[in-house]
Amino acid sequence: MSLKNIGRIGDNYDEWVVALRHAKNLLEQAGIKYWIDMGTVLGALRNNDLILWDNDIDFSVEISEAPKVFALVPEFIKAGYQVIATDSEIYFNKPNHISVGVAFYRSTQDKMWILWLTDYGKWPQLTRHIKRVRERILYRGYHSGLHPLEEQLYKFFPKAWLVPIRRALVQICLGSGHKAYPMVFPKTMMQEMDAIRLCGMDFPAPRPVAEYVRMIYGPNWQTPDTKWGWDQVVAIDKTFFNQKDLVDFHLLKYLDGRKNY
């Protein structure tokens, strides 16, 4: 989970620890079942600390927790964060400073999964832009910190148009060869969590945590690798997800009881 214009943790470490504690408290006070993920759980397992060259804090939840997570948007805004939602995650960002992400995992039979690796097809710049626009339109009621003209543009569309517009834009992306691939894990890993220390605090992590980290970062996860990339994730399964299902792959169906879209 990386974003542009966000600083590295090592640049102002103490403030990142404050952000970690703040997000932990909000999630737990809301009764949300979460776990630390990606680089955050990697740092916790390696040395019980954040990775200094990382540029975000990673939490994850099951998709059923999405309404509770989105209900925290006002609390994060009150604390000075801007908000960006996508089909798989919500980011809470302090401009040029700190990023806290919450990712939403789906459940299928005995698997937990999340779309993670993206192939943007024949026209990657265009496809990236279309993806950005469709997510800004669909989750317009939750974003904060966008340019005022951009906010006004997205508010122009009637609510009844949101999903049809998104479907049309996804079809354009699919036509250009756009594909999204999931990381897939055994569901048992997220059913009973391990406890792990991070920055002097206890956090839940998938069980067994070392095997979970291996499925993301490979057998050499204990050794930092500056050349590592998301295309090397062991848990990526390119046959698990039907690309045609991207048309209706979004969070709105889980947020339908909420009014701010």
What are the tens digits of pLDDT across the range 198-241?
999 999 999 999 999 999 999 999 999 888 898 899 999 999 99
Residue of 42, 32, 40 lying closest to 63 (CA atoms) = 32
pLDDT digits (tens, 9 = 90+) for 97-127: 899 999 999 999 999 999 999 999 999 999 9
Largest CA distance in the chain: 51
Residue 256 has pLDDT above 70, yes or no: no
What percent of the chain is modeled with pLDDT above 90? 76
Of 187 and 255, the structure prediction assigns the larger pLDDT to 187
Q: Give the bridge partners for 18, in sequence order.
A: none
Helix H or strand E segment including 83? strand 82-85
Whether 2 shows a pLDDT value over 50: the answer reads: no
H helix or E strand, kind and range, residue 181: strand 179-186
* pLDDT tens per residue across span 74-94: 999 999 999 999 999 999 999
- Taking the C-alpha atoms of residue 105 and residue 63, their distance in angstroms, rounded to an integer, is 5
- SS3 readout for 205-252: ECCCHHHHHHHHHCCCCCCCCCCCCHHHCCCECCCCCCHHHHHHCCCH
pLDDT digits (tens, 9 = 90+) for 13-27: 999 999 999 999 999
Q: What is the pLDDT of residue 5?
A: 53
Check the CA dihedral 236-241-246-251 and report its sign: negative
Average pLDDT, the chain: 91
The model scores a pTM over 0.85:
yes
